[in-house]
Amino acid sequence: MTHTRDSCAARDEADPLRGARDRFSLPPGMIYLDGNSLGVLPRGVSERVAHVVAAEWGEGLISSWNTAGWIDLPARVGARIAPLIGAQGHEVIAADSTSVNLFKLAAAGARLQRPRRAVVTEPGNFPTDLYILQGLEGWLGGEIEVRVVGRDQLMDALDEDVALLVLTQVHYKTGALHDMAALTARAHAVGALALWDLSHSAGALPVDLNGVGADLAVGCGYKFLNGGPGAPAFMFVAGRWQDKIATPLSGWMGHAEPFAFHDQYQPAPGIRRLLTGTPPVLGLSVLEAALSAFADVSMAAVRTKSMALGDLFLDLVEARLPGAGFEIACPRDANARGSQVSLRHPDGYAIIQALIERGVVGDFRSPDILRFGLTPLYVGYADIWDAVDRLCAVMATGLWQESRFHVRAAVT
C-alpha cells in the first residue's frame, strides 16, 4: 500500500485512540518516539505532586502516612497496574527498581525449586537482567547456575535441571517478542517456574500473566507506564506462590507487623512480604497519577494501533530510504514485535543525534541500533510520516555528518 501524508492524516482522523493524546503534556512540535525509554508527562501529574508536597507533606507531615494513605501506595499502585498485565489486584505491588525486584524474585523463585539449580536466560537480554543473575550466582555459592541459551534453543534447554526461566518478553534492542504462553507452558512441563521481565510490555501491549500461568514478573514504571524518571518498578507474584515465597531482602516493610517493632523477622502474608524499606511516596504518587492516562483505554486497541504504526514506519523506510545503509533490525511481522521498531546503521549514533535536533526523538543502543518507541496514546500516523520524512532529510543533506553529532553523551 502506498502511503502519503494525507492518507496518514486520514488514519489519525479515524483513530479511536485519537483523544488520548490530550491526556499528555508534550512539547509543541516534538515527535517523541522514545516512550519505551522514558514515557512523557501525563496531565494531572504536576498538580498531584504539588499537592503531595505542599498539603500532604507540608501540612499533614507524619500523619499523612495514615490520612493520605501513603502506607498503602505500593499495593494501591500495584492494583492499578494489575489489569494492564492480566493479574489480580493483590498479585502486583510497586516498589524499588526493576533491578532490585529482579534480584528478589529470581532468588526467591530459584529457592522455591531447590534442589534444582539451573536458571535459564538468553544472551543479549537487558544487561541488568544478566548482571543481577550473575551477581546472584556468585552470592549463592553453587545454589544456582546460570545458563545463557540462544533464543532458538530455549525450548530445548528447558529440562528437569531447570529451576527458573528468566526472560524479557520484548527485547529492548530488536523489539522481538517472545511467545510467553509457549515458554511458560514448557517451563511448567519440566517442573520449572517462569519469571518474566515486562519492562517493555506493561502499558505497551496486552499481557495476560494469569492467562499463560506465569509465576513471577517484574517491570518498569518509567517506560510505557509514564511514571517519570526513576519511577518505582513493580513485581507480580501469582496468588498460588504468595505464601510460599521468601524474600532475600527481609526488611521491615515486608514484616507481618512493621509497627510492632519485633526483633524477629516474620514475613507479611501475601505479596507485601516482597517490600523492603519505606515506600518512595513522591515517586509512587507520580506513578499513580500517571496511570490515570490508561483509564478506559483498551489495550487491544493500543496493540492494533501500535502494530499499524510500526508497519507504517517500516514501509516508509523501505520505500523512501533504499540505499541509505539502513537495515531493519526488528521483526518485519508485527505479531512478532513489541511496541517499537529498530533499524541498524553503522552511523546510527550520529543519525539519531541529528534527527533529535530536527525534532524527532528516538534513541541509540550500542553498537548500531536506532530505536523508535511507538506509544499509541500520544503518537499518530502523521507523526510517523513526519518522522521518516525528517530522517530522509537528515540522510539526503548529510546533516548527520557534522561533527557535533558524533560527540557521545553519558546517556544515549
Ligand X SMILES: *Cc1c(COP(=O)(O)O)cnc(C)c1O
Residues within the interface to ligand X (CB under 6 A): 97-99, 126, 128-129, 168, 172, 197, 199-200, 220, 233
Residues with Cβ < 8 Å from 270, sequence gap 6 or more?
A: 90, 242, 243
- Whole-number Å distance between alpha carbons of 55 and 48: 10
User: Quick check: is 197 catalytic?
Assistant: yes
Across 281-293, b (16+ Cβ under 10 Å) vs e yields: bbbbbbbbbbbeb
Element at 146 (helix H, strand E): strand 145-148
**Does residue 128 contact residue 99 with C-beta atoms inside 8 Å?**
yes
Least Å distance between CB 220 and ligand X?
Answer: 5
- Whole-number Å distance between alpha carbons of 120 and 158: 8
Least Å distance between CB 316 and ligand X?
Answer: 26
Q: Is 77 exposed, middle or buried (0-12, 13-18, 19+ CB in 10 A)?
A: buried
If the CB atoms of residues 64 and 99 are measured against ligand X, the closer one turns out to be 99
If the CB atoms of residues 88 and 128 are measured against ligand X, the closer one turns out to be 128
Q: Is 128 exposed, middle or buried (0-12, 13-18, 19+ CB in 10 A)?
A: middle
If the CB atoms of residues 126 and 400 are measured against ligand X, the closer one turns out to be 126
Least Å distance between CB 411 and ligand X?
Answer: 12
**Does residue 329 contact residue 174 with C-beta atoms inside 8 Å?**
yes
Catalytic residue among 21, 186, 303, 371: 371
Q: What angle do CA 270, 222, 57 make, to 5 degrees?
A: 75
Catalytic residue among 197, 215, 363, 383: 197
Place of cell 546533516: 399
- Whole-number Å distance between alpha carbons of 123 and 106: 17
Least Å distance between CB 59 and ligand X?
Answer: 32
Catalytic residue among 11, 117, 223, 272: 223
If the CB atoms of residues 83 and 230 are measured against ligand X, the closer one turns out to be 230
Least Å distance between CB 97 and ligand X?
Answer: 3
Report strand pairing: 145-148 vs 92-95: unpaired
Least Å distance between CB 148 and ligand X?
Answer: 15
Catalytic residue among 24, 32, 126, 224: 126
Catalytic residue among 32, 172, 222, 349: 222
User: Quick check: is 224 catalytic?
Assistant: no
If the CB atoms of residues 15 and 215 are measured against ligand X, the closer one turns out to be 215
If the CB atoms of residues 168 and 285 are measured against ligand X, the closer one turns out to be 168
User: Quick check: is 223 catalytic?
Assistant: yes
Q: Point out the residues that are catalytic.
A: 126, 197, 222-223, 371
